[in-house]
């Protein structure tokens, strides 16, 4: 493609303000799209100013190899989610939100609840919470689109994601 000098300078200076490539644009739309179960990625994650940060910040993981990101998106086991049994209440899957605050992941959108240690009867790893995209039937193309968007929005990557780097989803 023919490039004129002013365009190159503009692109370099603007960096993140460059237009996203098609793959990242599709990923951006998919990131905000609700699945049949009523969740979108934006329900729990924030990328490029879009969405609510309940789950982990995706900046760090966006730099990893696409294979690792796919594994995280489709993982059934979780590290950060715990099951909390409040005294006199129903157990719920939660993610710590700082201090005595937890996000109750059984609500959609997740709701913030404040529970002091004295109000918690028991916590245990995982419980039976599953990361919603695990059962969403995402295709290889959709996974590549999502990762391309995360990379573009988090560090201005415009190279995109090669489908050969995406493992076959096993669902």
Smallest gap, in angstroms, from Cβ of residue 121 to ligand HEC? 21
Nearer to ligand HEC, 73 or 153 (CB): 73
Nearer to ligand HEC, 67 or 122 (CB): 67
Angle at 160 (CA atoms; ends 154, 162), nearest 5 degrees: 135
**What does the alpha-carbon distance between residue 151 and residue 30 come to, in Å, rounded to a whole number?**
14
Smallest gap, in angstroms, from Cβ of residue 58 to ligand HEC? 5
Q: Comparing C-alpha atoms, which of 165, 116, 160, 162 is closest to residue 26?
A: 160
Q: What is the DSSP letter of 17?
A: G
Q: Comparing C-alpha atoms, which of 62, 28, 68 is closest to residue 154?
A: 62
Residues at the site binding ligand HEC, with contacts judged by CB under 6 A: 39, 41, 43-45, 54-56, 58, 60-61, 69, 72-73, 78-81, 95, 105, 110, 131-133, 146
Q: Are strands 120-125 and 101-104 parallel, antiparallel or unpaired?
A: unpaired
Nearer to ligand HEC, 114 or 139 (CB): 139
Smallest gap, in angstroms, from Cβ of residue 7 to ligand HEC? 32
Smallest gap, in angstroms, from Cβ of residue 132 to ligand HEC? 4
Q: How far is CA 50 from CA 24, 53, 56, in A?
A: 14, 9, 14
Nearer to ligand HEC, 133 or 160 (CB): 133
């Amino acid at each position: 493609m023919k490039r004129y000098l002013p365009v190159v300078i503009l692109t370099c200076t603007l960096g993140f303000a460059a237009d996203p490539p098609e793959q990242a644009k599709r990923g951006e739309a998919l990131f905000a799209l609700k699945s049949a179960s009523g969740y979108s990625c934006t329900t729990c994650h924030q990328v490029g100013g879009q969405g609510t940060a309940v789950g982990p910040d995706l900046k760090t993981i966006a730099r990893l190899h696409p294979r690792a990101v796919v594994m995280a998106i489709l993982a059934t086991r979780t590290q950060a989610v715990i099951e909390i049994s409040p005294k006199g209440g129903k157990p719920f899957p939660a993610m710590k939100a700082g201090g005595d605050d937890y996000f109750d992941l059984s609500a959609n959108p997740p709701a913030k609840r404040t529970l002091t240690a004295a109000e918690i009867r028991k916590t245990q790893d995982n419980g039976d919470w599953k990361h919603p995209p695990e059962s969403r039937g995402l295709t290889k193309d959709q996974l590549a689109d999502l990762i391309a968007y995360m990379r573009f929005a988090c560090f201005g990557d415009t190279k995109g994601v090669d489908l050969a780097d995406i493992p076959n989803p096993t669902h």
